[in-house]
Amino acid sequence: MNLLNDNLHFRVKSHLESVYPLLDTEQLASELITLMRLEQVLSEPAPHQNHWDASDLIMIAYGDSIHHPDETALMTLYRFLHEQCQGMINGIHILPFFPYSSDDGFAVSDFYAVRSSAGSWEDIEKISAEFRLMADLVINHCSSESQWFKNFKMAQGEGHNYFFTENPEADLSQVVRPRTSPLLNAVQTHDGIQHVWCTFSHDQVDLDFRNPEVLKEFVKIIRFYLDKGVNIFRLDAIAFLWKEAGSSCLNLPQTHELVRLLRTLIEYAQPNAMIITETNIPSRENLSYFGNANEAHCVYNFSLPPLLLHTLITGECDYLKQWMMSMPPAQDGTAYFNFIASHDGIGLRPAEGILSDQEVSQLIDLMQSFGGHVSWRALENGQNKPYEINISLFDALQGTTQGPDQWGEERFLCAHRIMLALEGIPGIYIQSLFGSQNDYERVKMTGHYRSINRHHWQYDELKEALDDPQTHHHRIFEAMKKLISIRTYQPAFHPNATQFTLHLGSQVFGFWRQSIDRRQSIFCLNNISSEPAELLLSNLNLIGTDDWYDLLSGKRCEDLHETLILQPYQSLWLSNVY
């Protein structure tokens, strides 16, 4: 081995020793390196490298979000990106496109296949050749209908020893749950009744990473995805990966060490590839997945959706400011992944410790009056607690605590103007690009509340709606395209550019961004209420020798002591570079 290979082997072995102290980690390290085809390392990944800039924006979509009768759904998605999103999107997160049995893809039955209803690996490779591709590594569990689990029940064959079982008499009182279904499911196997661990549902059976064969299988899967063009790995439900009776089974040290191990292997295989951790948990726990810039490259900014929603429906931004000021700047080599809508609901756990139970209850009541639903999780005392709100973002922002009003579209766009300007990489859910509304028929068809924000479009129907100026879909889509086109060219919107929260009262949410080279400053100012707001420009301390422009309107600020009147949900991006 050369020195680079020695360094890699040492690093991998060190990770493994922390997780598997009783195993022959020398041999296991060699096997993992071989599975990743890293026997001859040519270079080491440089630390603290930002694999992104202000032009990066990721669209989040199911592979079959849009349909056309003459092509696969993935090719229809590819066509939509080319025909409707030219210059807007350079990255795409395609939600699980594998064969599955439930949860719209997150109960994977075959990690090595593309489900026929979506398309083929050739479609995936065509998309990845032109767009940065994020794919889900559904690493915590798999489908009860998978061949692995069938082999488990037969007690023989590949995968028969991949699943986590537990004695029902064990102390599981501290286990943190995201669902209300029983944690253990009694399954008849060739060896008798086995109680399998099911964090999410009885169709989603948890994998047992105490068995290094499971780790080897997923390293093999990662190598396969890299070969197919996947560049960003979304580690789904990663916080639940390692389990120990008597603990919370959440964010355990072994879980963090395995993330560090996967990052090492992925970076050596492809230096610009990234890991993003999906951890729908309180903010402090979520931030721990950055490690010391040696775990996730990106973490989802899970507190942003509920706090921004609360801000816009109350017309007060105090909680949002408080949270923003508590968020440390991401180190170089790491970044926040900002989103305000997704295929799931609006998570409530990330608002814990910020919003009171009463404020959460009021938010839930309002969202239910706007047509939303609530999903629950089980507590250790046997009670249930709200876990997420299921509603389309467009319908969630149709009004305020006073009820629906005429400002829904502006409120919706204000939310995106804030998100697009924040420190981090923005992710926009495809349904938000054109303001999709609650899909009650899909909820009725699937029986799952999350389906309310997973509408399936026919391509011709969507194109007609986007082309018709009379539809809100057209107005939202055109406004979003303009916003994104402006954002893309601003150095101060680099994901790691400086950010400071401004104190402009409860009605105006403001923050300052400065480019890494310090040449550009942008003051992002947002009236988050349904009433006009006064803004005294002198409070911003704008440098008088610079010329200042609002990037959104193109207007120049003539008088830096002027008092501006921001209309309801109006935003300004005041920049000294235009």
What six digits make up the tokens of 4? 């680079």
Question: Domain-by-domain residue ranges, the chain?
Answer: 498-575
Asked about 236 being catalytic, the answer comes back as yes
Work out the angle at residue 296's Cα, subtended by the Cα atoms of residues 295 and 302, and round it to the nearest 5 degrees. Answer: 135
Binding-site annotation, residues for substrate: 103, 141, 234-236, 343-344, 450
Walk along the chain (578 residues) and give the pLDDT tens digit of each residue.
588 899 999 999 999 999 999 999 999 999 999 999 999 888 899 999 999 999 999 999 999 999 999 999 999 999 999 999 988 999 999 999 999 999 999 999 999 999 999 999 999 999 999 999 999 999 999 999 999 999 999 999 999 999 999 999 999 999 998 999 999 999 999 999 999 999 999 999 999 999 999 999 999 999 999 999 999 999 999 999 999 999 999 999 999 999 999 999 999 999 999 999 999 888 889 999 999 999 999 999 999 999 999 999 999 999 999 999 999 999 999 999 999 999 999 999 999 999 999 999 999 999 999 999 999 998 877 788 999 999 999 999 999 999 999 999 999 999 999 999 999 999 999 999 999 999 999 999 999 999 999 999 999 999 999 999 999 999 999 999 999 999 999 999 999 999 999 999 999 999 999 999 999 999 999 999 999 999 999 999 999 999 999 999 999 998 999 999 999 999 999 999 98
What six digits make up the tokens of 342? 């997704």
Report the alpha-carbon distance of residue 2 to residue 42 in Å, rounded: 10
Binding-site annotation, residues: 103, 141, 234-236, 343-344, 450
What is the structure's pLDDT at 383? 84
DSSP 66: E
Report the alpha-carbon distance of residue 295 to residue 135 in Å, rounded: 18
Backbone angles phi, psi at 454, to 5 degrees: -130, 50
Catalytic residue among 236, 395, 439, 550: 236
Report the alpha-carbon distance of residue 39 to residue 53 in Å, rounded: 32
Report the alpha-carbon distance of residue 378 to residue 356 in Å, rounded: 19
Q: Beta-carbon neighbour count of residue 192 at 10 Å?
A: 8
The residue assigned the tokens 């801000």 is 311
* Whether 396 contacts 370, CB under 8 Å: yes
* Whether 366 contacts 403, CB under 8 Å: no
What six digits make up the tokens of 40? 């001859």
Nearest to 378 by CA among 390, 389, 386, 388: 386
H-helix or E-strand containing 91?
strand 91-94
Burial pattern 318-328, b for ≥16 Cβ within 10 A else e, equals ebbbebbeebe
Report the alpha-carbon distance of residue 122 to residue 240 in Å, rounded: 33
Q: Which fold has domain 498-575?
A: Immunoglobulin-like (2.60.40)
What is the structure's pLDDT at 175? 95
Contacts of 437 (CB under 8 A, 6+ apart): 392, 394, 395, 455
Report the alpha-carbon distance of residue 206 to residue 295 in Å, rounded: 22
Q: Beta-carbon neighbour count of residue 449 at 10 Å?
A: 17
Work out the angle at residue 240's Cα, subtended by the Cα atoms of residues 235 and 241, and round it to the nearest 5 degrees. Answer: 70
Residue 309 burial (CB < 10 Å; 0-12/13-18/19+)?
buried
**Continuous H helices in 423-471:** 430-433, 440-446, 459-467
What is the structure's pLDDT at 1? 53
Report the alpha-carbon distance of residue 523 to residue 509 in Å, rounded: 11
What six digits make up the tokens of 409? 């579209």
Checking phi first, is residue 243 left (phi over 0); if not, alpha (psi -120 to 50) or beta?
beta
